[in-house]
């Protein structure tokens, strides 16, 4: 459960977890890891922020990827709610990192950032 989200949004997240064979609360865990990583002191930003569970079927174990997959699976109102609570952490990461010009351009933005 992610505080600040409606009951409907949290139910949709739970349904997403079930449909992808994820443990209950895995999206909330990813959300908390992403927030914690974004708020670390500048030199301590976790560049990978990997999930503990390695069973994400796309092979990418980054917590922000799980959040993005969840966003895409939600209905529009729930998507807006989750996006709004993820947004501040995204902004922290963008403000405290630089684009890596050598990273493959097909990677998502959060995997193309380097510490500043």
| pLDDT per position as a tens digit, 86-111 | 999 999 999 988 999 999 999 999 99
First-residue to last-residue Cα distance in the chain: 33
pLDDT digits (tens, 9 = 90+) for 66-90: 999 999 999 999 999 999 999 999 9
* C-alpha triplet 18, 58, 21: angle, nearest 5°: 15
98 SS3 class: strand
Cα Dmax for the chain: 42
pTM for this model (two decimals): 0.85
Separation between Cα atoms, residue 113 and residue 74, nearest integer Å: 26
Tokens at 56, concatenated:
């994400």
Q: Who has greater pLDDT, 82 or 58?
A: 82
* Residues counted in the chain: 116
Binning pLDDT at 50, 70 and 90, where does residue 61 land?
Answer: confident
């Amino acid at each position: 459960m992610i505080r600040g989200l409606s009951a409907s949004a949290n139910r949709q997240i739970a349904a997403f977890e079930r449909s992808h064979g994820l443990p209950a609360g895995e999206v909330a865990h990813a959300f908390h890891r992403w927030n914690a990583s974004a708020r670390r002191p500048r030199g301590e930003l976790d560049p990978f922020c990997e999930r503990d569970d390695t069973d994400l079927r796309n092979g990418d174990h980054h917590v922000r990827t799980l959040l993005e997959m969840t966003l895409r699976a939600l209905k529009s109102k729930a998507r807006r709610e989750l996006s709004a609570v993820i947004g501040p952490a995204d902004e922290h990461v963008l403000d405290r990192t630089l684009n890596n010009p050598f990273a493959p351009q097909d990677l998502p933005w959060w995997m193309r950032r380097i510490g500043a």
